[in-house]
């Protein structure tokens, strides 16, 4: 339920990566990793975060319109781009059972309902329409159609014949599947209309045809398909079209793009559907015409009950402005036309009994209550465990062992308990008592903050074991992370080995690995006492070799491996390109400056707050102004350090985390241990390419233009290694006023000495060392 990477990786990026992974699985590999409802929730969360953080469109991960292209198919450009639809979905916290019923009028009293609920989104959509078409949202003539969960297709007819069928592809260019359509009989090959026109719709595989197909596949010992939509997509991409004849693929057509018909057509969606029927196309029988957005929403909701009675899958409803003559005027966004919106059904939920609650301690120390459930079928899998998130969720839904609960899959593949069914509570049940101490190591628990993660706004685990240094699951987590490919790449040290090493008390912290006797390692039991599984000599030798190699791994890998809060691999690379050693990082003047300036800026912002200002007396304000002047002066002093240090891309949060780490007991221990082990990870060759690259410099005396910190940062920023004492290895001594013994020693050793002006020339590049 938790990964050791979690505290480091910004959840925001993780979300984008997860979306990409799901998109690839879905579009490219035709084998989805998540249900649509799950995907949509993730997508919505990602969009919300982007909005919140004002991420520009160009920087967002987009793959709304997936690419269904398959190698070997001829591609053509669509006359009009095939777009997707804006989605109206209700976020999990607004779903039935969690306080607000999606369909109830109470929704509007809940804060955030405008963005968080399907109704809010649909209302906003209607309001935007009204701005263009006039009138009120309750007057709009709308058409409500089932949203078929299939594969979109564009068909072009000319002279009464189907001349071209094309998949959506990437929206701009799709694969030609005319032969497949003709062979499958999914759409008419001939129509009465002889003028050229294009019609768009959805190809789908009825449930029964899907089950038959899967039965045949499993009888032939072949991999079965995840759902009808993917099955349909897979079939359409068969190159031998003749095999499609009996597969049962069908279509519903729903759209004639404006401008893509050589003959006149009526100017309403409803009458165009009627025209399509007259041409022999299949049009969904459950299309409704309604007046007003509230009625459209009701029609969508009502269809939830009908959904399971259909012989094909739908994943929502589509609401369209009936008057097609306004469609062009409304225009499109980058991804979707403004004339329509897709209502997405909420994810499937099932009731089941809660048999017990176990508390898991994650790799980050977070306590996650886990529901042990009576097995229940949910969106295609059997579920017997589900997340209860954290203590506050548990308390919010007030769940007790023995309760009947609602289970849902959302966000990730992990199912979760979203609500209790109060009517089914057994009379003898008692409230669940959350543990007072860590169930693994018995240490005190700590509250890691309330509500949402400060930066990502995602909910965080609130309660965690305070024994970060020694709590076994946390040590295992660090060990796994330490050994992971992107860290020190200790192949052979996966979660099972890590657990065995920690459980047997062989490893208490990551650096213990470097003292590990090979015999201990080869005798390690990965199984149980009754069924032992010994690691063995061969594996042990290999792992020891990897550990030995890690001794000389570059600094960036080491920094990533140490699992410092907020230091993921990208930040580790940046830190390693501006600091030559772990020691240098631990004492970094530039990070100290960053940290300090971050604090000052924060303080200044608070002091500058207009509301607070109004509440101050003139005397109080005077004190505040004085403080702000001091802050301003100090920031001005720090600025040159921040500019010269090559740390532009590192923020104060990282700076603070790095400093906290190295100032902690464990940080000190790690530094001492590394030194004792003779491990000296080096910064990459990326070390600043400056006028002092590779030079060792010592500073002595006082300089007019620099503080002690800023001179160090300036020298480091120019690529120098700054040390404290003069030796034969010293390349340059910068001597200010009242220089003493260091200057004497430098002179004695014949080391070059410069004053402040001389240093300026070197830094400017008009002189060199």
CA distances to 202, 325, 459 from 269, in Å: 16, 10, 43
Taking a C-beta distance cutoff of 8 angstroms, is the pair 176, 75 a contact? yes
Residues 397-426 that bind ligand IVH (CB under 6 A): none
Regarding 155 and contact with ligand IVH (CB under 6 A), the answer is: no
Regarding 84 and contact with ligand IVH (CB under 6 A), the answer is: yes
Residues β-bridged to residue 367:
361
Closer residue to ligand IVH (CB): 147 or 742:
147
Report residue 144: phi and psi, to 5°: -115, 120
3-state secondary structure of 373: strand
Residues β-bridged to residue 88:
343
Stretch that binds ligand IVH, among 54-62, 67-75, 82-90, 208-216 (CB under 6 A): 82-90
Residues 111-140 that bind ligand IVH (CB under 6 A): none
Given the residues 123, 147, 557, 574, the one annotated as active site: 147
CA distances to 38, 387, 482, 632, 683 from 9, in Å: 21, 21, 15, 33, 22
Q: Which residues contact 617 (CB under 8 A, 6 or more apart)?
A: none
Regarding 85 and contact with ligand IVH (CB under 6 A), the answer is: yes
Regarding 202 and contact with ligand IVH (CB under 6 A), the answer is: yes
Stretch that binds ligand IVH, among 146-154, 503-511, 624-632, 697-705 (CB under 6 A): 146-154
Give catalytic status of residue 450 as yes or no: no
We find the least distance from the C-beta atom of residue 261 to ligand IVH, in angstroms, to be 16
Residues 665-724 that bind ligand IVH (CB under 6 A): none
Closer residue to ligand IVH (CB): 67 or 202:
202
CB atoms within 10 A of CB 334: 10
We find the least distance from the C-beta atom of residue 151 to ligand IVH, in angstroms, to be 7
We find the least distance from the C-beta atom of residue 39 to ligand IVH, in angstroms, to be 12
Closer residue to ligand IVH (CB): 12 or 255:
255
Closer residue to ligand IVH (CB): 83 or 394:
83
Residue nearest to ligand IVH (CB): 152
Please name which of 143, 185, 414, 162 lies closest in space to residue 293, comparing C-alpha atoms: 143
Closer residue to ligand IVH (CB): 233 or 318:
318
Q: Which residues contact 423 (CB under 8 A, 6 or more apart)?
A: none
Q: Please, where are the H alpha helices in 197-244?
A: 207-219, 228-236
What is the chain's alpha carbon radius of gyration, rounded to the nearest angstrom?
33
Task: Specify the DSSP element, H or E, that contains 657.
Answer: helix 652-663
Regarding 68 and contact with ligand IVH (CB under 6 A), the answer is: no
Helix/strand number for the chain, H first, E second: 26, 22
Task: Specify the DSSP element, H or E, that contains 619.
Answer: helix 618-644
Q: Which of 145, 175, 198, 403 binds ligand IVH (CB under 6 A)?
A: 145
478 alpha-carbon distance from chain centroid? 21
Closer residue to ligand IVH (CB): 80 or 212:
80
Closer residue to ligand IVH (CB): 68 or 566:
68
We find the least distance from the C-beta atom of residue 690 to ligand IVH, in angstroms, to be 52
Regarding 169 and contact with ligand IVH (CB under 6 A), the answer is: no
Q: What is the maximum alpha-carbon separation in the chain?
A: 103
Regarding 476 and contact with ligand IVH (CB under 6 A), the answer is: no
We find the least distance from the C-beta atom of residue 255 to ligand IVH, in angstroms, to be 5
Q: Name the E strands within 27-124.
A: 75-77, 86-88
Query: How many residues appear in the chain?
Result: 769
Structure tokens belonging to residue 524: 């390690």
We find the least distance from the C-beta atom of residue 318 to ligand IVH, in angstroms, to be 4
Q: Which of 8, 117, 152, 214 binds ligand IVH (CB under 6 A)?
A: 152
We find the least distance from the C-beta atom of residue 169 to ligand IVH, in angstroms, to be 12
We find the least distance from the C-beta atom of residue 65 to ligand IVH, in angstroms, to be 7
We find the least distance from the C-beta atom of residue 611 to ligand IVH, in angstroms, to be 44
* Distance from C-alpha of 178 to C-alpha of 173, rounded to nearest angstrom: 15
**Contacts of range 443-452, beta carbons closer than 8 Å, 24 or more positions apart:** 443/467, 443/471, 445/367, 448/366
DSSP state of 186: S
Regarding 204 and contact with ligand IVH (CB under 6 A), the answer is: no
CB atoms within 10 A of CB 709: 17
Per-residue binder mask for ligand IVH (CB under 6 A), 312-351, x = binder: ------x-----------------xx--x-x---------
Please name which of 311, 339, 336 lies closest in space to residue 326, comparing C-alpha atoms: 339
Helical packing angle, 569-578 and 652-663, nearest 10°:
80
Closer residue to ligand IVH (CB): 87 or 659:
87
754 alpha-carbon distance from chain centroid? 52
Residue at token pair 């990566």: 17
Closer residue to ligand IVH (CB): 84 or 760:
84
Q: Which of 34, 83, 181, 647 binds ligand IVH (CB under 6 A)?
A: 83
Q: Which of 46, 61, 255, 275 binds ligand IVH (CB under 6 A)?
A: 255
We find the least distance from the C-beta atom of residue 313 to ligand IVH, in angstroms, to be 11
Q: Which of 210, 254, 303, 662 binds ligand IVH (CB under 6 A)?
A: 254
We find the least distance from the C-beta atom of residue 188 to ligand IVH, in angstroms, to be 18
Taking a C-beta distance cutoff of 8 angstroms, is the pair 425, 402 a contact? yes
Determine the size of the site formed for ligand IVH (CB under 6 A): 15
Please name which of 362, 357, 354 lies closest in space to residue 463, comparing C-alpha atoms: 362
353 alpha-carbon distance from chain centroid? 32
Regarding 148 and contact with ligand IVH (CB under 6 A), the answer is: yes
Taking a C-beta distance cutoff of 8 angstroms, is the pair 397, 419 a contact? yes
Closer residue to ligand IVH (CB): 336 or 587:
336
Closer residue to ligand IVH (CB): 337 or 683:
337
Regarding 147 and contact with ligand IVH (CB under 6 A), the answer is: yes
3-state secondary structure of 10: coil
Catalytic residues: 147
Q: Which residues bind ligand IVH (CB under 6 A)?
A: 83-85, 145, 147-148, 152, 202, 254-255, 318, 336-337, 340, 342
């Amino acid at each position: 339920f938790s990964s050791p990477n979690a505290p480091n990786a910004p959840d925001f990026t993780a979300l984008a990566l997860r979306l990409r992974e799901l998109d690839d699985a879905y579009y490219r590999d035709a084998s989805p990793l998540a249900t649509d409802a799950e995907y949509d929730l993730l997508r919505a969360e990602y969009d919300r975060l982007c909005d919140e953080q004002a991420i520009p469109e160009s920087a967002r991960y987009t793959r709304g319109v997936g690419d269904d292209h398959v190698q070997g198919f001829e591609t053509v450009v669509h006359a009009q781009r095939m777009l997707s639809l804006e989605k109206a979905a209700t976020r999990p916290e607004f779903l039935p059972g969690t306080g607000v019923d999606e369909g109830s009028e109470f929704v509007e009293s809940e804060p955030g309902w405008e963005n968080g609920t399907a109704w809010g989104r649909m209302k906003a959509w209607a309001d935007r329409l009204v701005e263009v078409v006039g009138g009120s949202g309750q007057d709009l003539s709308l058409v409500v159609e089932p949203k078929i969960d299939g594969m979109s297709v564009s068909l072009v007819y000319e002279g009464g014949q189907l001349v071209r069928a094309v998949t959506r592809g990437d929206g701009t260019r799709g694969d030609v599947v005319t032969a497949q359509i003709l062979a499958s009989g999914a759409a008419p090959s001939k129509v009465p209309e002889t003028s050229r026109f294009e019609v768009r719709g959805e190809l789908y595989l009825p449930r029964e045809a899907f089950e038959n197909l899967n039965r045949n596949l499993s009888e032939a010992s072949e991999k079965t398909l995840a759902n009808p939509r993917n099955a349909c997509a897979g079939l359409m991409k068969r190159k031998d079209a003749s095999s499609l004849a009996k597969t049962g693929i069908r279509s519903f057509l729903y759209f004639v793009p404006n401008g893509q018909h050589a003959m006149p057509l009526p100017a309403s969606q409803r009458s165009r559907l009627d025209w399509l029927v007259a041409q022999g196309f299949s049009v969904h029988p459950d299309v409704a015409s309604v007046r007003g957005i509230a009625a459209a929403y009701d029609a969508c909701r009502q269809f939830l009950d009908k959904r399971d009675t259909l012989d094909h899958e739908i994943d929502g409803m589509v609401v369209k402005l009936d008057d097609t003559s306004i469609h062009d005027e409304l225009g499109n966004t980058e991804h979707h036309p403004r004339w329509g919106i897709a209502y997405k059904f909420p994810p499937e939920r099932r009731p089941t009994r809660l048999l017990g609650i176990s508390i898991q301690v994650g790799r980050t120390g977070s306590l996650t209550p886990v529901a042990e459930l009576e097995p229940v079928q949910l969106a295609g899998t059997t579920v017997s465990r589900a997340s209860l998130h954290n203590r506050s969720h548990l308390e919010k839904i007030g769940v007790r062992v023995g309760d009947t609960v609602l289970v849902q899959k959302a966000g990730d593949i992990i199912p979760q308990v979203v609500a209790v069914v109060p009517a089914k509570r057994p009379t003898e049940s008692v409230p669940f008592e959350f543990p007072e101490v860590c169930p693994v190591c018995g240490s005190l628990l700590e509250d890691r903050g309330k509500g949402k993660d400060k930066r990502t706004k995602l909910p965080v685990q609130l309660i965690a074991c305070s024994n970060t240094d020694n709590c076994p699951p946390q040590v295992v987590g660090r060990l796994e992370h330490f050994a992971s490919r992107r860290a020190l790449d200790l192949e052979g040290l996966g979660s099972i080995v890590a657990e065995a090493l920690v459980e047997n008390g062989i490893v208490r912290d990551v650096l213990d690995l470097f003292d590990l006797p090979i015999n201990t390692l080869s005798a390690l039991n990965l199984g149980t006492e009754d069924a032992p599984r010994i690691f063995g000599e061969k594996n042990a030798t290999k792992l020891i070799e990897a550990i030995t190699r890690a001794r000389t791994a570059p600094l960036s890998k080491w920094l990533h491996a140490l699992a410092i809060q907020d230091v993921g691999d990208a930040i580790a690379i940046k830190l390693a390109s501006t600091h030559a050693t772990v020691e240098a990082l631990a004492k970094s003047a530039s990070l100290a400056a960053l940290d300090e300036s971050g604090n000052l800026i924060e303080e200044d912002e608070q002091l500058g707050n207009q509301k607070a200002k109004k509440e101050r007396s003139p005397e109080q304000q005077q004190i505040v102004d004085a403080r702000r002047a001091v802050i301003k002066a100090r920031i001005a002093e720090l600025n040159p350090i921040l500019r010269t240090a090559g740390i532009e891309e590192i923020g104060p949060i990282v700076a603070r985390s790095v400093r906290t780490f190295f100032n902690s007991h464990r940080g000190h221990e790690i530094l001492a241990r590394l030194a004792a082990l003779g491990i000296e990870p080096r910064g990459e060759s990326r070390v600043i390419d400056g006028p002092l690259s590779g030079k060792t410099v010592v500073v002595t005396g006082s300089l007019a233009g620099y503080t002690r910190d800023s001179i160090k940062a300036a020298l480091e920023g120019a690529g120098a290694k700054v040390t404290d004492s003069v030796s034969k290895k010293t390349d340059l001594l910068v001597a200010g006023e009242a220089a003493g013994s260091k200057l004497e020693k430098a002179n004695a050793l014949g080391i070059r000495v410069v004053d402040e002006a001389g240093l300026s020339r070197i830094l400017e590049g008009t002189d060199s060392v």
